[in-house]
Structure 1
Amino acid sequence: MAIAVILAGGKGIRFGDAIPKQFKTLGGKPIIQYTIEAFFFHPDIDELIITYPTDYKAEIEKIASAFSGHKAITLVAGGASRMETTLAALNVIGEQRKKVLFHDAVRPFVSHDIISQTILALDNYDAVDVVIPTADTIVEIDAAEKQLTAIPERSRLRRGQTPQGFWADSLKAAYQTMDTERLNHFSDDCGVFLDQNPTAAIGIVAGDDKNIKITTPIDFFLAEQILYSGQAASRSVLSEKKQKKSVIIFGASSGLGAAAIQAMKEQGWLVFPASRSTGVDIRHAEQVQSFFKEVLNKTSTIDAVVIFSGILKTGKITEMNPSDIREMIDVNLVGTINVALTAYPYLKKAGGHLLLVSSSSYFRGRANSAVYSASKAAVVNLTQALSEEWADDNIAVSCIAPRRANTPMRRKAFPKENPAVCLAPEVVSKEVIGMLMHPQTGLIKHIY
């Protein structure tokens, strides 16, 4: 277990906005709210300390009040600098020998995996930093900022992210022994800790390109794209990882569905396939409901439901048969809703997982596939909405968005396409297994 310190004491002058960037609205809620959610709903975080600019106490109190439960949230006024704000949080923690993670409030997309790995790594290191490789060459310049003085070897350079992990008492000792004037020359806590403990073992955890820090307007634009593409991190809702599952698969007769069945059986899972060929058409809610009742007579719980059912017909929308348009909407969207509504009480009882299937075309409608692209975009939006509505019921709702795969549906729609450039169904099956074993909800997994 660990304490999370969310550093939101700055006023974000580089952003050039009237309010601190952590309070700027992103996708309908303040940036800092996403950050709080990531840590509040992580099972290994048992306490949060949130720092804030002194003039924005009312704003942070309002945001924090939306979080209720067994985890304590302490609000702490920030200092005049990043380092003074860290020290203010450490003073609240006191002399505890406890794991503590410091995270920038304006990194809203930190994943639960990164948080977990940082906490775990502290078992073997004095401190932990989250880093990612740099694609750009990094150069060193002189103090006057006029000339280049060195080009370090890029293979050994990394870009630092947060969280940074420490043992609270050790970090506090480093701050207490640091000269006050020197303190504000540092930009992060690992720098302070290493300066005072030059022989310390500081481990590294792989970060994520999506774990961006929103510092400038272009960062905000990128954050919007991450959020709207469905790639943002989300909350954990499933505490128990069942190694063996009972799974219902719709669209199981061929393609991705058939491959997933084989992969799940190899895992030792109990699989119940359904498709139109077996008398279950997801366009008809009563057929879906009857099938769920049949399955429950064969197993005690339904742990997961996966919907591979889909229809792809190509052509200019103005030239398409209206019945073909209606069929695609009914199967790809209405049928998915029918299954979701029917699955809800079963998954709520089991603490289960609903996995939907979209397409890489969802984020950009493609010519001659307008209805298909639109209906698959709707599936992604449905995933995001249900993941929020059902989170308190301990139901995970996620979605995979494979690029074009080598399936009968694809070959029929694009008979001249080279199968070698398409995904093998087995690759998708592996990702499906991984998604169903993951405790988070709201994930949109792109499979390339």
Structure 2
Amino acid sequence: MEKVHVIILASGKGRRLGNQIPKQFLKLAGKTIVEHTVEVFEKHPQIDEITIVVPQQYRYLLEEILLRNSFSKVKRVLNGGKSRKESSFIGLSALDDEDKVLIHDAVRPFVCNRIIDDCLSALNHYEAVDVAIPTSDTIIQIDHRHFIKDIPNRNKLKRGQTPQAFKVGLIKQAHILSMDDGFDNVTDDCGLVLKYQLADVFVVSGEEINIKITYKEDLYLADRLFQLSSNTEYGNINLLDIKNKVIAVFGGSNGIGREIVDLAKKYGAKVYSFSRNNGVDVTDYCKIKEVLNEIFLRESKIDYIVNTAGILNIGSIESRDIDDITYEINVNYLGAINVIKAGIQYLEMSNGAFLLFTSSSYTRGRSLYSTYSSTKAAIVNLVQGINEEFSINKNIRINAINPERTNTLMRIRNFGNEPEESLLDPFKVAEISLQTLLSKISGQVIDVRK
């Protein structure tokens, strides 16, 4: 019976990125890049088997990844060759000629099901399929002196992506022919098919988001793309699933925290709300430990811990009192650390999740709000760093909600009356917060917009 294979080429050294380990093993959004890529094909219903080709000296890193995941479709891990072409043939050599294969770069983690579907559909009619997008830039051809030789019509030019799809027997034949005549001047597998005129290559549409992570700038872009993609992941989550979950909310007496408490209770969760109004200050680590222990003794579990506690004070560093500055930092930043450290033991037992809150001001410091904005930037770094720590040996998730200007008492106290239609409804923030807790995402900053 014909099978559909995927060969994931993870054998690059990543020298252009300048890291000590290859780029496919760098972490983004709580997972290595290659993990994200494998996960896409693992979840696709038409993919039968996955083969991963890696550098021999970094094979142990991939084996660690496989040990902490349940990738049932990964059937082979093969040591790569000296070139992309050689690594591709190593993967192909393990497959039967009558099967179909997708060959994909490990560092393209944003490949989507639509592209995969289109490739497999095209393989029903063609023996070779490429993926490409239109070029928005003018392409120039230069001579050996670096003068422009030609400017091709860009309407006929496209930028190639992966996966590329083939009948296994055809692409194997192309590789064997290239080895026989020593042809190595090729950057992808479709180039070999064209070189030996073995078949026409049909092109399906790729997507701009299907980027290849090559340079340092690509890492920053990819990180943001993961954030944007995670913002849609919670959309299909039913809040009825939060019934009987045990949730501790710090900062639950006002604003977003109160909305979370009320909404979670409405859907049947067992919610415990804490704030300075009932004697719990997040700057007091011992008190946080005490109330979490009380919840656990009563409920025998804690599923989720949310920290919305925060304060916002205005003033320049020069004009503000040092005690006032210190307390704002302690509440906004140290408070989050206190909540996390005190809660780890409980969420480890429940495979639960933390949820913190940042602000749109985290991306750039604001005059008169420098302390506040810097603590919110620290929250983002805290979430990312701790998520990496958790990913090693703890099944705990952690994310940060980043709401835009929200209609809360804290905002009114600091900015006065504003047009209500210009502010985000805290109910919407609460709804997305609960959906994020129920989701599988981790290490993300979830933007909430009107």
Q: Give the structure-2-normalised TM-score.
A: 0.71
Residues 79 and 88 in structure 1, CA contact (< 8 A), matched pair in contact too: no
Q: Which residue number in structure 1 is paired with residue 216 of structure 2?
A: 220
Residues 15 and 22 in structure 2, CA contact (< 8 A), matched pair in contact too: no
Q: Which residue number in structure 2 is paired with residue 375 of structure 1?
A: 375
5+ residue gaps, structure 1: 12-18, 235-240
**Alpha-carbon offset, residue 432 of structure 1:** 1.6
Residues 139 and 151 in structure 1, CA contact (< 8 A), matched pair in contact too: no
Q: Which residue number in structure 1 is paired with residue 94 of structure 2?
A: 92
5+ residue gaps, structure 2: 27-32, 44-48, 143-147, 231-236
The residue type equivalent to 1:395 in the other structure is I
> Hey, what's the Cα distance between the residues in 2 that align with 1:348 and 1:368?
40
Residues 51 and 91 in structure 2, CA contact (< 8 A), matched pair in contact too: no
> Hey, what's the Cα distance between the residues in 2 that align with 1:220 and 1:323?
40
Residues 174 and 192 in structure 1, CA contact (< 8 A), matched pair in contact too: no
Q: Which residue number in structure 1 is paired with residue 53 of structure 2?
A: 50
Residues 123 and 129 in structure 2, CA contact (< 8 A), matched pair in contact too: no
The superposition leaves residues 227-248 of structure 1 with CA deviations (integer Å, 9 ceiling, x where unpaired) of 59994999xxxxxx99634222
Between Structure 1 and Structure 2, whose CA radius of gyration is higher?
2
> Hey, what's the Cα distance between the residues in 2 that align with 1:4 and 1:161?
15
The superposition leaves residues 5-28 of structure 1 with CA deviations (integer Å, 9 ceiling, x where unpaired) of 4425567xxxxxxx7336x31xx7
CA distance 1:377–1:433, change in 2 (3 Å): same
**Alpha-carbon offset, residue 223 of structure 1:** 2.1
Q: Which residue number in structure 1 is paired with residue 168 of structure 2?
A: 172
Partner secondary structure for residue 241 of structure 2: coil
CA distance 1:126–1:394, change in 2 (3 Å): farther
Residues 244 and 269 in structure 1, CA contact (< 8 A), matched pair in contact too: no
Q: Which residue number in structure 2 is paired with residue 259 of structure 1?
A: 259
Q: Structure 1 residues 2-11 or 427-436, which shifts more?
A: 2-11
Q: Which residue number in structure 1 is paired with residue 25 of structure 2?
A: 33
The residue type equivalent to 1:213 in the other structure is K
The residue type equivalent to 1:36 in the other structure is V
Q: Which residue number in structure 2 is paired with residue 146 of structure 1?
A: 150
Residues 21 and 106 in structure 1, CA contact (< 8 A), matched pair in contact too: no
Query: Identity over aligned residues, as a percent?
Result: 28
1:102-121 aligned within 5 A: 102-107=103-108, 110=109
**Alpha-carbon offset, residue 253 of structure 1:** 1.5
**Alpha-carbon offset, residue 258 of structure 1:** 2.0
CA distance 1:150–1:224, change in 2 (3 Å): closer
The superposition leaves residues 86-121 of structure 1 with CA deviations (integer Å, 9 ceiling, x where unpaired) of 2321213446968x76432444xx26xx57887899
The residue type equivalent to 2:34 in the other structure is I
Alignment equivalent of 1:244, drawn from 227, 241, 244: 241
> Hey, what's the Cα distance between the residues in 2 that align with 1:2 and 1:44?
12
**Alpha-carbon offset, residue 334 of structure 1:** 1.4
Partner secondary structure for residue 367 of structure 1: coil
Q: Which residue number in structure 2 is paired with residue 394 of structure 1?
A: 395
CA distance 1:316–1:140, change in 2 (3 Å): closer
**Alpha-carbon offset, residue 359 of structure 1:** 1.2
Alignment equivalent of 1:76, drawn from 44, 69, 79: 79
The residue type equivalent to 2:346 in the other structure is Y
Root-mean-square deviation (CA), in Å? 4.6
Partner secondary structure for residue 400 of structure 1: strand
Q: Which residue number in structure 2 is paired with residue 384 of structure 1?
A: 384
CA distance 1:260–1:79, change in 2 (3 Å): same
> Hey, what's the Cα distance between the residues in 2 that align with 1:31 and 1:49?
15
1:145-224 aligned within 5 A: 146-147=150-151, 149=153, 151=155, 161-162=161-162, 164=163, 171-176=167-172, 180=177, 208=209, 212-215=211-214, 219-224=215-220
Q: How many residues align?
A: 406
Q: Structure 1 residues 292-301 or 221-230, which shifts more?
A: 221-230
Q: Which residue number in structure 2 is paired with residue 299 of structure 1?
A: 299
**Alpha-carbon offset, residue 423 of structure 1:** 2.3
> Hey, what's the Cα distance between the residues in 2 that align with 1:2 and 1:270?
46
**Alpha-carbon offset, residue 349 of structure 1:** 0.2
The residue type equivalent to 1:323 in the other structure is D
Q: Which residue number in structure 2 is paired with residue 336 of structure 1?
A: 336
CA distance 1:104–1:412, change in 2 (3 Å): same
Q: Which residue number in structure 2 is paired with residue 327 of structure 1?
A: 327
Partner secondary structure for residue 361 of structure 2: helix
The residue type equivalent to 2:53 in the other structure is I
> Hey, what's the Cα distance between the residues in 1 that align with 2:200 and 2:130?
19
> Hey, what's the Cα distance between the residues in 1 that align with 2:164 and 2:79?
19
> Hey, what's the Cα distance between the residues in 1 that align with 2:419 and 2:313?
18
Q: Say if 2:431 is the partner of 1:430.
A: yes
> Hey, what's the Cα distance between the residues in 2 that align with 1:226 and 1:294?
42
Q: Which residue number in structure 2 is paired with residue 237 of structure 1?
A: none
